[in-house]
Structure 1
Amino acid sequence: MRELKYTSHDGTVIDLNADDLWVADLQEMRGYAWTYTLATRGIKSVSRNASTAKMTVRTTDPSRLDMVQTAFDSDVQAVTPGMLTVDGEWTQQAYVVGSSLGLVPWPDYAQVDYTVVLCDGVWRRALPVQHFFPMAAGTGSQLDLPTDLPTDLAPSKIALTVDNPTGKAAEFSAIIFGPCTNPVFQIGANTYEIDVTVPAGGYVSLSATGLSKTITLTAENGDVTNIFDKGVRGDGAGSGSYVFEPIPAGESLLEISSNYGIDLTLYDVSGGVPWRMLSSPTPS
Structure 2
Amino acid sequence: MLETIEYTAGNGESIGFEGPLYGETLTGLRGRAWDYSLASRGLTGVTRKTRETNVTVRIHDSPATLDLLCRLADADMAAGTPGTLIADGEWETRAWIPKSEPQTITPTMVETQLTVVLLDGVWRRETTTHHDPRTDAGSGLDYPHDYPHDYGGMSILDTVANTSGMPQPIRLTIFGPCVNPYVIIGPNRYEVDATIPASSRLEIDGTADARTVIMISDTGLRTNLFAKAMRGTGRGSGTYIFEPLPPGTSTISWAGGFEFDLTAIEERSEPPWT
TM-score, L = length of structure 1: 0.87
Contact 1:155 1:258 in 2 (8 A): no
Residue 88 of structure 1 aligns with an amino acid whose one-letter code is G
Residue 248 of structure 1: how far off its partner (Å): 1.4
Is the aligned partner of 1:223 residue 2:221? Answer: yes
Q: Taking structure 1 as reference, are residues 202 and 146 closer, same or farther at Cα in structure 2, changes over 3 Å only?
A: farther
Residue 269 of structure 1: how far off its partner (Å): 0.8
Partner of 1:134: 133
3-state SS of paired residue (2:220): coil
Residue 163 of structure 1: how far off its partner (Å): 2.3
Q: Count residues with an aligned counterpart.
A: 267
Deviates more, 1:247-256 or 1:156-165: 156-165
Distance of 1:267 and 1:91 partners within structure 2? 11
Partner of 2:55: 55
Q: Taking structure 1 as reference, are residues 143 and 58 closer, same or farther at Cα in structure 2, changes over 3 Å only?
A: farther
Distance of 1:42 and 1:167 partners within structure 2? 21
Contact 1:8 1:71 in 2 (8 A): yes
Residue 12 of structure 2 aligns with an amino acid whose one-letter code is G
Residue 117 of structure 2 aligns with an amino acid whose one-letter code is V
Deviations 1:162-210 (A, max 9, x none): 2223232211111111111111111111111111111112111111112
Write out aligned runs for 1:168-247 (5 A): 168-247=166-245
Residue 27 of structure 1: how far off its partner (Å): 1.3
Residue 156 of structure 2 aligns with an amino acid whose one-letter code is A
3-state SS of paired residue (2:71): helix
Partner of 1:115: 115
Structure 2 unpaired stretches of 5+: none
Residue 146 of structure 1: how far off its partner (Å): 7.8
Residue 72 of structure 1 aligns with an amino acid whose one-letter code is A
Partner of 1:124: 124
Contact 2:100 2:114 in 1 (8 A): yes
Contact 1:122 1:271 in 2 (8 A): yes
Distance of 1:113 and 1:100 partners within structure 2? 5
Identity of aligned residues (%): 37
TM-score, L = length of structure 2: 0.90
Distance of 1:22 and 1:158 partners within structure 2? 52
Partner of 1:152: 149
3-state SS of paired residue (1:63): helix
Distance of 2:231 and 2:37 partners within structure 1? 27
Distance of 2:65 and 2:149 partners within structure 1? 70
Contact 1:156 1:258 in 2 (8 A): no
* Aligned-residue RMSD, C-alpha: 2.1
Residue 15 of structure 1: how far off its partner (Å): 2.2
Q: Taking structure 1 as reference, are residues 183 and 56 closer, same or farther at Cα in structure 2, changes over 3 Å only?
A: same
Deviations 1:235-269 (A, max 9, x none): 11111111111111221111111411111111111
Distance of 2:181 and 2:78 partners within structure 1? 42
